[in-house]
Amino acid sequence: MPAFERLILVRPGPCTSEAEGALPGLLNTELSVEGRAVADDVRHAVVEQPVPVHEVLSSPLVRAADTARTIAREALGQPSVRMVWELSDQNLGAWSGQPATSVPSQTGLDEVPPQMSPHDPRWAAMRYALQQRPYRQRAEPESLRDVLTRVRGFWLHHLYPRLGAGAVVIVSHDAALRALRVIVEGLDDDRMLDESLGHGDVVAYDVGGPGRPRITRLRSGAPEGASAPDL
């Protein structure tokens, strides 16, 4: 596997579940019409940056994989993408496919799951809400710390040892990208709650030299008039 000096993080555009106001989680939903347009835009952002792309990695979920193949066709000359399960979206358990607007009324929480670990007292409210469901619909979601653990393992064993030259593109989802930003920037774990990327955001980390990585926003997916997340 080639070494790399630039890590490019890409969050795909919205999928059909999100376009309908539902929480996707691990549902293998396709890109929406807007999401397909965003895939073409992020392709331009990746191809136009100056560091040659050596590899494209992706969550195996189709909304990320299709975006990754769109990038790879031009950046590598073929739709060659390595699928990595650790880059999958956060498992939302029984909340997958549920309308996002139904969460507050069922749990009293503004999002599911908002907490870093099951030790957060808000987890009890979510668990109680799940117990009111039929048995087959009680699957618990991952906490953000669960996501951080699996992503950190992939970083330590598969990415960090390959620091060198060239660029690696990672196409993934909100929680996994939050985890990567915390790991690469050396932030406290609890900063995962603050490090969200928007749909269509493309951020590059130059990680080949000493000290903290240099961060460049290559594309902002924030709607016109909205502020993009701080880098």
pLDDT of residue 230: 43
SS3 34: helix
Q: What's the pLDDT band for 43 if we cut at 50, 70, 90?
A: very high
Sequence-distant (6+) residues with CB within 8 A of 177 are 9, 11, 170, 195, 196, 197
Residue-range domain boundaries for the chain: 4-91+143-219, 106-137
Mean pLDDT of the chain: 82
Residue 64, sorted as left (phi over 0), alpha (psi -120 to 50) or beta, turns out to be alpha
Mean pLDDT of 11-33: 91
pLDDT of residue 156: 92
Sequence-distant (6+) residues with CB within 8 A of 143 are 113, 115, 116, 117, 118, 120, 123
Please enumerate, as own/partner, the contacts of 104-107 that have beta carbons within 8 Å and a separation of 24 or more.
none
Crossing angle between the packed helical segments 174-185 and 144-154, to the nearest 10 degrees: 60
* 112, pLDDT greater than 60: no
pLDDT single digits (tens) 157-194 = 988 888 777 899 999 999 999 999 999 999 998 888 88
* Residue percentage of the chain with pLDDT more than 70: 77
Count of alpha carbons within 13 Å of 83, Cβ hemisphere only?
A: 12
CA torsion sign for 87, 153, 147, 210 is negative
pLDDT of residue 119: 62
Question: For residues 211 and 138, which has the higher predicted lDDT (pLDDT)?
Answer: 211
pTM of structure: 0.84
pLDDT of residue 71: 96
C-beta of residue 26 within 8 angstroms of C-beta of residue 96: yes
pLDDT single digits (tens) 211-230 = 788 999 999 975 433 434 44
C-beta of residue 117 within 8 angstroms of C-beta of residue 145: yes
Query: Which CATH code, of 3.90.1150.10, 3.30.230.10, 3.40.50.1240, 3.30.1520.10, is assigned to 4-91+143-219?
Result: 3.40.50.1240
pLDDT of residue 223: 46
pLDDT of residue 221: 77
pLDDT single digits (tens) 60-110 = 999 999 999 999 999 999 988 999 999 999 888 777 888 877 766 666 655
Q: What's the pLDDT band for 25 if we cut at 50, 70, 90?
A: confident
* 206, pLDDT greater than 60: yes
Mean pLDDT of 150-163: 89
Reading the block at residue 163, the tokens are 């620091």
pLDDT of residue 22: 87
